[in-house]
Amino acid sequence: MTAPYLLVPLALLISAATAHAKGAWALWKHSYEVWVDSNKVDHRRDVAWKKIAATAAKSDCQDRSVNEARAEYDGLTGEGIRAILTGSTVGFDQRTTRFTQGYRSFECYPDTVDPRRAKER
C-alpha cells in the first residue's frame, strides 16, 4: 500500500522538472550607458531593465530579441542618430551626457529569473 503514496510525489516531481525544461522565457530590454575616461577606462552605468515579452520557447525569445533590436535601430537611425546594430544589441551616440555611448540590449532569460536582481552583470 505504500507504493502508490510514493508514486504520486515522484510523478509531481517529474512533472515539475519537465515543465521547467519547457518553461516560458522572458525578453528583457536592458538600457545602459558607457563613457571612456582619459586613461581609456570604460565606465558603465545601468539605466533600466524593462520586461518586453514572454514566449513559450527560448528560440522564439531569441528571434523576438533580434526583431526588437532591429526596430530600435530603425527608430534611432530614423531620428538621425548614429547607431550600430550587432545581433540583439544596439549601440548609439549620445551627446547630452558624459556617457557618450548608449546601449539597448534585448536579452532572454527563463521566466523565473529577474535580471534586475542580479548582483553582477
What is each CA distance from 52 to 4, 15, 37, in whole angstroms? 44, 28, 33
Nearest to 117 by CA among 22, 28, 17: 28
C-alpha cell at 99: 556617457
Quote the pTM value. Answer: 0.72
Residue type, 116: R
Half-sphere exposure of 94 (CA within 13 A, CB side): 16
Distance CA 108, CA 58 (A): 7
Tell me the average pLDDT across 48-54: 96
- pLDDT tens-digit profile of 9-26? 434 334 333 444 468 999
Task: Kindly list the domain boundaries of the chain, sorted by start residue.
Answer: 23-117
Angle ∠(107,121,21) on CA atoms, nearest 5: 50
Residue type, 94: Q
Residue 60's pLDDT band (boundaries 50, 70, 90)?
very high
- pLDDT tens-digit profile of 71-86? 999 999 999 999 999 9
